[in-house]
């Protein structure tokens, strides 16, 4: 008789449960089938692996020795099978994933860990992104976890770029110094912000994205006031960091339209956030070059979607 994988699995489950009924339930077979399998295995070994009484099932010393030998062999076999299945599906051995720090390293780590647990033969290399849009892709990452200020990611859908589902959403908020007039409200509108110099985002080469990030006009048609070029000038080769933005706010040069958790990402004494109620939420989405799409990228996006954080945004009421 050849010992089959199913026979070993039956032995291992019974060794854990020490109960034929529970073992049968776990294996989704009848109790009689478990008993027959163990008896056949004992005949092959040449001695009893379990002691059976009307009250209990105990593993014998020979059964303990058999267990010590087959358990690691069984685990190695399963790992090998999993690795081969991954290779057969075209999952690579490495994936470069870029991310914006403001998305949250804890969140990114959770996505990456979930992917590596599902595909242990594929190692993820994390890269801090130097841009919010498709322009950042050729610089290193195969998948970029980035913000889109439109509520669903549609503004990042450019020729040659694929955009995945929303992975998390953040309420928009304006960062101001403590004691600023805008802090008198529970929430504010873009018209309220239009009274103040607003930091102009730039450097991505995506005009429609930057206008959604920092609008040019308020919903009423009132123009927004932006910082003048000699205060803070950005080019396509220079990206502003959240730290830089907060430093300008702290110096009283401007206010900054960001996300509600901005100061959780980068604590900055003396600054506060005030929610903005009349602008779409910021959403984190994965993007990748369509021509470079492969099974590894598709697998990462699928795992990310199954581990995303989507909670409803609380309604805001102006006071």
Lowest mean pLDDT among 17-21, 143-147, 236-240, 251-255: 236-240
Do 276 and 128 belong to one domain?
A: no
Residue 215 domain flag: yes
Helix ranges (H only) for the chain are: 5-17, 20-27, 31-45, 61-88, 105-118, 190-193, 207-213, 242-250, 262-265, 295-306
- The Cα–Cα gap between 268 and 95 comes to 34
Spatial CA neighbour of 13 closest among 2, 26, 3, 4: 26
Residue 319 domain flag: no
Do 100 and 68 belong to one domain?
A: no
Task: Give the tens place of pLDDT for each residue, 82-109.
Answer: 777 766 678 888 999 999 888 888 999 9
Do 156 and 250 belong to one domain?
A: no
Residue 36 domain flag: yes
Domain count, the chain: 3
- The Cα–Cα gap between 227 and 218 comes to 16
Q: Domain containing 9 — which CATH number?
A: 1.10.10.10
Residue 318 domain flag: no
Task: Give the tens place of pLDDT for each residue, 32-72.
Answer: 999 999 999 999 999 999 999 888 999 999 999 999 999 99
Kindly state the tokens that stand for 112: 């990456």
Q: Which residues contact 73 (CB under 8 A, 6 or more apart)?
A: none
- The Cα–Cα gap between 254 and 197 comes to 5
Residue 26 domain flag: yes
* Domain final residue, candidates 57, 88, 119: 88
Do 155 and 180 belong to one domain?
A: no
Do 206 and 155 belong to one domain?
A: no
Residue 226 domain flag: yes
Global pTM value: 0.66
Q: What is the pLDDT of residue 97?
A: 95
Q: Domain containing 241 — which CATH number?
A: 3.40.190.10
Residue 249 domain flag: yes
Do 75 and 119 belong to one domain?
A: no
Query: The domain containing residue 52 runs over which residues?
Result: 5-88
CA 181 distance to own-chain centroid: 37
Do 24 and 75 belong to one domain?
A: yes
Contact 15, 67 (CB under 8 A): yes
């Amino acid at each position: 008789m050849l010992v089959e994988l199913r026979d070993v699995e039956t032995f291992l489950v019974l060794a854990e449960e020490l109960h034929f009924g529970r073992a049968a339930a776990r294996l989704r077979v009848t109790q009689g089938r478990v008993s027959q399998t163990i008896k056949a295995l004992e005949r092959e070994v040449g001695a009893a692996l379990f002691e059976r009484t009307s009250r209990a099932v105990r593993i014998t010393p020979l059964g303990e020795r058999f267990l010590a030998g087959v358990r690691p062999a069984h685990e190695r076999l399963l790992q090998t099978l999993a690795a081969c299945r991954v290779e057969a599906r075209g999952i690579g051995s490495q994936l470069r994933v870029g991310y914006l720090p403001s998305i949250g390293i804890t969140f990114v780590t959770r996505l990456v860990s979930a992917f590596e647990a599902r595909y242990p033969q594929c190692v993820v290399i994390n890269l801090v992104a130097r841009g919010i849009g498709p322009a950042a892709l050729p610089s290193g990452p195969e998948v970029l976890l980035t913000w889109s200020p439109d509520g669903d990611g549609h503004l990042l859908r450019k020729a040659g770029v694929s955009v995945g589902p929303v992975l998390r959403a953040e309420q928009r908020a304006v960062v101001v110094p403590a004691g600023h007039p805008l802090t008198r409200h529970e929430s504010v509108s873009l018209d309220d912000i239009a009274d103040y110099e607003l930091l102009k985002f730039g450097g991505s080469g995506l005009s429609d994205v930057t206008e959604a990030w920092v609008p040019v006009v308020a919903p009423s048609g009132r123009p927004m006031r932006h910082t003048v070029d000699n205060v803070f000038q950005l080019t396509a080769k220079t990206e502003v960091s959240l730290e830089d933005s907060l430093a300008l706010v702290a110096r009283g040069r401007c206010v900054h339209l960001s996300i509600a958790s901005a100061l959780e990402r980068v604590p900055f004494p003396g600054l506060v956030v005030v929610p903005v109620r009349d602008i779409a939420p910021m959403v984190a989405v994965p993007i990748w070059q369509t021509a470079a799409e492969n099974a590894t990228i598709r697998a990462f996006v699928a795992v990310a979607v199954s581990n995303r954080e989507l909670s409803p945004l609380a309604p805001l009421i102006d006071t």
